[in-house]
Structure 1
């Protein structure tokens, strides 16, 4: 089996490495600023855990390999201007938008996009960063440091946030996980729930959208599509050409996790429709010290990333899975007591939505 080299050595790379063991694959995450170039052989594979990377000797070397998977797609997705342009060309629903040029005025943006306009950096800016709101009733113009560096989007009054994780192999076969319901706070994903029978009727529509995107790019591997649900309509918010935070629940809740599925796809191993096991909830651990008692709760699967604890930093996640909602609700009640007060609204949301699932 070849070695799969992963550009980026964060938690996603570590979980890809863990998922490789049953496949008899060797996975080697590589820090972009490493001082040593990886020894990539002709039959090895290069993939990523991120769609953006700094310009370093390592990233130049890895991204220039003939075996670098999906090399053409990253520039289209990492830059929101190109991502939005691609979605428009495919006639896939996304929020109305326009480019913020060096001479763009707030009045013009409001005239085109409405009273509330969200500025987003063309590159970067995940987890609630790299965003700036322009409210017409508050006045104010486009900040100088946003001119020529961003896009502007119309505010979408969405009902809820859903995501779809899909995978495509080199022969064009595609498989998908169930739609996942997500809760964000200040732009950071806090919790996910899947599957939900009440949104199952939107599954075919979501699969057609993501499938069209992957086919158009001849994409190989796992891709995530984050959407707003507005009534019965899905509007694409962001794409991620990699394994994704909102797919972490698949580690406990599916016969093949998103991490294993990605490795299967890029290494020409068979991909298959993932059999879903019961109900799953994922709780992101943000800026909170590790608590070993999390591991004592039945139905939980705890991941700790080994990072220094800092406010707002993703430090781990907890998957909860069980065939019975009642057992999952009991586990959530126990976990609630072991997380800080500011998590209480997260648990309130999870318990309400789980009951509706």
Structure 2
């Protein structure tokens, strides 16, 4: 079997490595600023855990390999201008937008996009970073450092945020996980719930949209599509050409996790429709100290990334899964007591959504 090299050595790379053992694959995450250039064989595979990376000797070396998967797609998706252009070209719903040029004025953006306009950096920006709101009633102007560096989007009055994680192999075969409901706070994913019977009727629409995106790029591997639900329509917010935080629940809740599915696809192993196991909830651990008591929560798996604790930083996650919803709710009530008070709103949201299922 080939070695699978991963550009990036964060938590996603670590979880890809963990998922590789049952497949007899050797997965090697590589730090972009490493001083050592790995010896990559012609039949080896290079994949990523991030859609952007700094220009270093290692990243140039990895991205120049014959086995570098999806090389043509990263520039289109990492740059929001090209990502939005691609979605428009494919006829896929996304928020109305305009490029922020050197001479773009707030007045013109409001005239086209409405009173509340969200600026997003063309490149970079995640977990709520790289964004700036323009409010017409406050007389906001486009900041000088945003001129020529961003896009502007119309504010979407959405009902809720959903995501779809799918995978495609080299022959064009595709599989999908159920739509996942997500809660964000200040742009950071706090919790995910899947599956949800009440949004199952939107699954064909979501699969059709993501299929068109992956097929148009001849994409191989796992891709995530974040959407706003507006009534009975889905509007694409962001794409991620990699495994994704909103798919972490699949580690406990599906017969093949998103990490194993990605490795199967890029290495040429068979992909299969992921059988879903019971009810899943994922809680992100943001800016909190580690507690060993998390390991005692019933029906759960805890993941700790080994990072230094900082406010707003993703440090781990806990997956809760059980065939019976009551068991999931019991685990959540136990976990609520072990996390800071600022998580009360998160648990209230999850509790409300589980009661709606």
* TM-score for the superposition, normalised by structure 2: 1.00
What do the CA deviations read for 1:76-116 (whole angstroms, capped 9, x no partner)? 00000000000000000000000000000000000000000
CA distance in 2: counterparts of 1:270 and 1:338, whole angstroms? 40
RMSD: 0.3
CA distance in 2: counterparts of 1:281 and 1:268, whole angstroms? 30
**What's the counterpart of residue 307 of structure 1?**
307
What secondary structure does 2:59 align onto? helix
**What's the counterpart of residue 333 of structure 1?**
333
- The runs of at least 4 consecutive aligned structure 1 residues that moved more than 2 Å come to none
**What's the counterpart of residue 183 of structure 1?**
183
Deviation at 1:226, TM superposition (A): 0.0
What secondary structure does 2:224 align onto? strand
**What's the counterpart of residue 94 of structure 2?**
94
Q: Does 1:164 align with 2:164?
A: yes
Deviation at 1:221, TM superposition (A): 0.0
**What's the counterpart of residue 110 of structure 2?**
110
Q: Does 1:32 align with 2:47?
A: no
Unaligned runs of 5+ in 2: none
**What's the counterpart of residue 221 of structure 1?**
221
What secondary structure does 2:315 align onto? strand
Deviation at 1:140, TM superposition (A): 2.1
What pairs with 1:1-357 in structure 2 (closer than 5 Å)? 1-357=1-357
CA distance in 2: counterparts of 1:300 and 1:327, whole angstroms? 10
What do the CA deviations read for 1:193-243 (whole angstroms, capped 9, x no partner)? 000000000000000000000000000000000000000000000000000
CA distance in 2: counterparts of 1:268 and 1:326, whole angstroms? 39
Deviation at 1:297, TM superposition (A): 1.1
CA distance in 2: counterparts of 1:65 and 1:112, whole angstroms? 44
Unaligned runs of 5+ in 1: none
What do the CA deviations read for 1:159-207 (whole angstroms, capped 9, x no partner)? 0000000000000000000000000000000000000000000000000
CA distance in 2: counterparts of 1:36 and 1:134, whole angstroms? 45
Q: How many residues align?
A: 357
What do the CA deviations read for 1:301-348 (whole angstroms, capped 9, x no partner)? 000000010000000000000000001000000000000000000000
What secondary structure does 1:316 align onto? strand
CA distance in 1: counterparts of 2:47 and 2:321, whole angstroms? 29
Deviation at 1:143, TM superposition (A): 0.2
CA distance in 1: counterparts of 2:300 and 2:324, whole angstroms? 14
CA distance in 1: counterparts of 2:335 and 2:239, whole angstroms? 31
CA distance in 1: counterparts of 2:39 and 2:28, whole angstroms? 10
CA distance in 2: counterparts of 1:123 and 1:250, whole angstroms? 28
Deviation at 1:354, TM superposition (A): 1.0
